[in-house]
């Protein structure tokens, strides 16, 4: 009868709604999702159709964001680019969150040697400047979107691991963990049923913020030419091709750049909104 009286409804949603920036970020993220799902219906031209008669045309009613050096519709390319960004953002962060949460839970629950070993691995991973590590790995592998997602994910889990470890260590000392040990729960059950659900909220925040970072990394890689390969449109590689024409065709760099800015901003606002809504100390009333 009172399924809706969950923690989510009682506290989180009321807090979240009261924060206009968070709601704006959330709305933008929803719009971005809609745009990438409905790309074929929103784009008025195919992103790959070359039109030699309309090379570098400025924004017009026919081509909202103008056309590029091959006469392709920039609006369509940006819309299809949103799909890539979304995919990279979520898959990469998904990989990072799964690894980070698993490492953090094990490390925080079994302290001592296990914890020490896992945390040293985290420290070592953190020593590498992540972007250059990604650059080096990608140049060895053939540039493919799956490799990019995998590498971004594999180099981005350490923050989540530390977060989850700290949270696990504090929850491990709660009486309800003691109680579940009393009733005979196995370690696995304690970790999955009792600790995991209680560490998820900070993970959610860090994942949302991480999506923004992953999208930015993918754009940067594509901009450098080792990310998503043309002709597949990605915001990063549209930017690259635009930089050669920036003096007389500003629209070619402006719109993909704006998309990156708006997307990253949206995820950051959403992430911070979720964090504030989940933090009881920020409660305003």
Contact residues toward another protein (CB under 8 A) are 1-3, 5-7, 10, 174-176, 178-185, 189, 193-194, 197-198
DSSP state of 281: G
The answer for residues whose C-beta is within 8 angstroms of residue 48's C-beta and 6 or more apart is 72, 231
Least distance from C-beta 4 to another protein, angstroms?
Answer: 10
Pick the closer one to another protein by CB: 173 or 247.
Answer: 173
Count, residues in the chain: 285
Pick the closer one to another protein by CB: 82 or 97.
Answer: 97
Pick the closer one to another protein by CB: 175 or 247.
Answer: 175
Least distance from C-beta 13 to another protein, angstroms?
Answer: 15
Least distance from C-beta 90 to another protein, angstroms?
Answer: 24
Residue 7: C-alpha distances to residues 55, 174, 216 (Å): 56, 19, 33
Q: Residue 245's CB: how many other CB atoms inside 10 A?
A: 16
Least distance from C-beta 20 to another protein, angstroms?
Answer: 27
Spatial separation of the C-alpha atoms in residues 78 and 54, rounded to whole Å: 18
Least distance from C-beta 211 to another protein, angstroms?
Answer: 24
Tokens for 98, please give them.
């799964």
Pick the closer one to another protein by CB: 37 or 174.
Answer: 174
Rg (CA), the chain: 22
Least distance from C-beta 180 to another protein, angstroms?
Answer: 7
Residue among 121, 129, 130 nearest 100 (CA): 121
Pick the closer one to another protein by CB: 17 or 189.
Answer: 189
For 107, counting Cβ atoms within 10 Å of its Cβ (0-12 exposed, 13-18 middle, 19+ buried), the class is: buried
Tokens 């081509």 — which residue?
Answer: 63
Describe the crossing of helices 113-127 and 74-109 by its angle, rounded to 10 degrees.
150
Pick the closer one to another protein by CB: 180 or 229.
Answer: 180
Pick the closer one to another protein by CB: 6 or 114.
Answer: 6
Least distance from C-beta 167 to another protein, angstroms?
Answer: 13
The answer for residues whose C-beta is within 8 angstroms of residue 63's C-beta and 6 or more apart is 45, 54, 57, 73, 74, 75
């Amino acid at each position: 009868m009172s399924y809706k009286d969950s923690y989510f409804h009682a506290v989180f949603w009321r807090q979240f709604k009261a924060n206009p920036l968070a709601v704006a970020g959330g709305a933008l993220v929803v719009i971005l999702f809609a745009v990438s799902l409905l790309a074929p219906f929103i784009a008025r031209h195919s992103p790959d159709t070359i039109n030699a008669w309309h090379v570098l045309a400025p924004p017009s009613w026919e081509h909202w964001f103008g056309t590029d050096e091959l006469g392709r519709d920039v609006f369509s390319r940006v819309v299809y680019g949103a799909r890539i960004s979304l995919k990279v953002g979520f898959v990469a962060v998904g990989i990072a969150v799964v690894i980070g949460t698993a490492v953090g839970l094990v490390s925080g629950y079994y302290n001592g040697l296990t914890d020490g070993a896992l945390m040293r691995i985290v420290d070592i991973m953190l020593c590498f400047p992540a972007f250059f590590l990604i650059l080096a790995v990608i140049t060895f592998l053939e540039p493919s979107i799956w490799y990019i997602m995998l590498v971004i994910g594999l180099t981005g889990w350490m923050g989540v691991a530390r977060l989850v470890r700290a949270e696990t260590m504090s929850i491990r000392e709660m009486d309800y963990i003691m109680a579940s040990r009393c009733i005979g729960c196995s370690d696995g059950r304690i970790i999955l049923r009792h600790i995991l659900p209680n560490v998820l909220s900070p993970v959610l925040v860090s994942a949302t913020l991480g999506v923004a970072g992953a999208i930015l990394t993918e754009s940067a890689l594509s901009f450098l030419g080792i990310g998503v390969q043309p002709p597949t449109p990605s915001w990063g590689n549209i930017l690259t091709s635009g930089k050669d024409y920036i003096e007389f065709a500003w629209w070619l760099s402006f719109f993909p750049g704006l998309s990156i800015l708006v997307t990253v901003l949206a995820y950051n606002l959403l992430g911070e909104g979720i964090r504030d809504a989940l933090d009881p100390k920020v409660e305003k009333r």
